[in-house]
Amino acid sequence: MGLNYSMTGVFYNKELAAKVGMTEPPKTLADLDALLAKAKEAGIQPIMQWNKSTGGLAFPLQNLMGAYGPPEPINDWIFQKDGATINTPENLKAAEHLEGWVKSGYFPSDANAIEYFQMMSRFIGGEGLFMFDGDWESGNLDTNAAGKFGFFLMPSVTADGRHAAMSAPLTFGIGEKSKNPDCAAFFLNWVATNEEARKINVAVGGSNPGGPPDLPIPAVTPGSVTEATLAAGQVLAKENGAMDFIANATGAIFAAGWTPELQKLVGGQQTAKGLLEAVQDEYEKQLSR
């Protein structure tokens, strides 16, 4: 059973956005690039991102993949459809775009030494115009920095392009040999349907609480990050742009593929083309075992 449908996108610092003339979320990838360049020129860290123990640059990379191409082939790869490959022309453009961001200095120079919690601390502390992350941080940002941050879906290459983002539920199951399966089923049903439980789910997790589609999403504070992420989730659902996470394609692809290759990319020891080739090779090795 899926609960609390998470979704990724781009968080932004409202004060820093105003300094670079950002009055609304970028409508195209070119608009986003222009804002990154303005931030760099103004001495503002364009993107705060972690890339140490788990390759955080996979987040902007997959968002770029969704900007350049449809999410369906990416999902085919994640769900191990026969013949699926991550090394496509669209994904190569995305990886080359990410490589361009690296070479332009849009990520912290110490990105390969930054852990996830350090990224969050530095971003909340005012370091970074943008951060690629998930709506599970919405409640955290609203609690610890109310009114300071916003959120938008990654823009497409064109203004009328389809939005795509990583989005998947927290999935729970009840084991066949569970001692109290009825109690577990009651709890999962309560979490998904009880009004107060759904409020807690949204307030803490910042995500769509899931459950029956006819149940309303609990009201949140106007102007909050959570309000923005919930609204973005409705857009994503309407455009059917949800992808699972490329980190989930196999049990070890994140640790053995994406993380080391993205770290090499940041360190200038890997190219966009080489990155996709290396990850695809690792993917095929893992599937053959």
pLDDT digits (tens, 9 = 90+) for 85-119: 999 999 999 999 999 999 999 999 999 999 999 99
Number of domains composing the chain: 1
Q: What is the pLDDT of residue 28?
A: 98
- Mean pLDDT calculated for residue range 129-149: 94
Q: What is the pLDDT of residue 2?
A: 65
**From residue 79, how far is each of 170, 207, 240, 284 by CA, in Å?**
17, 23, 17, 13
Does residue 189 lie in a domain region? no
Q: Where are the alpha helices (DSSP H) in 5-51?
A: 14-19, 29-41
pLDDT digits (tens, 9 = 90+) for 154-200: 999 999 999 999 987 777 889 989 999 999 999 989 988 999 988 88
Does residue 200 lie in a domain region? no
Calpha distance 120→131 (Å, rounded): 9
Does residue 227 lie in a domain region? yes
Say if residue 4's pLDDT is above 80. no
Say if residue 48's pLDDT is above 70. yes
Does residue 50 lie in a domain region? yes
Does residue 194 lie in a domain region? no
Enter the tokens of residue 255: 């640790």
Say if residue 205's pLDDT is above 80. no
Does residue 196 lie in a domain region? no
Does residue 128 lie in a domain region? yes
Q: What is the pLDDT of residue 225?
A: 94
CATH of the domain at 271: 3.40.190.10
Does residue 181 lie in a domain region? no
Q: Rounded to the nearest 10 degrees, what angle do helices 259-266 and 89-103 cross at?
A: 50
Q: Which residue has the tokens 């409202």?
A: 14
What range does the domain containing 95 cover? 2-170+221-288
Name 65's Cβ contacts closer than 8 Å, sequence gap at least 6: 74, 90, 91, 94, 164, 246
Say if residue 208's pLDDT is above 90. no
pLDDT digits (tens, 9 = 90+) for 121-131: 999 999 999 99
182: left (phi over 0), alpha (psi -120 to 50) or beta: alpha
Instruction: Tell me the whole-structure pTM to 2 decimals.
Output: 0.91
Instruction: Judge contact between 254 and 58, C-beta under 8 A.
Output: yes
Task: Provide the pairing of β-strand 165-171 with 242-243.
Answer: parallel
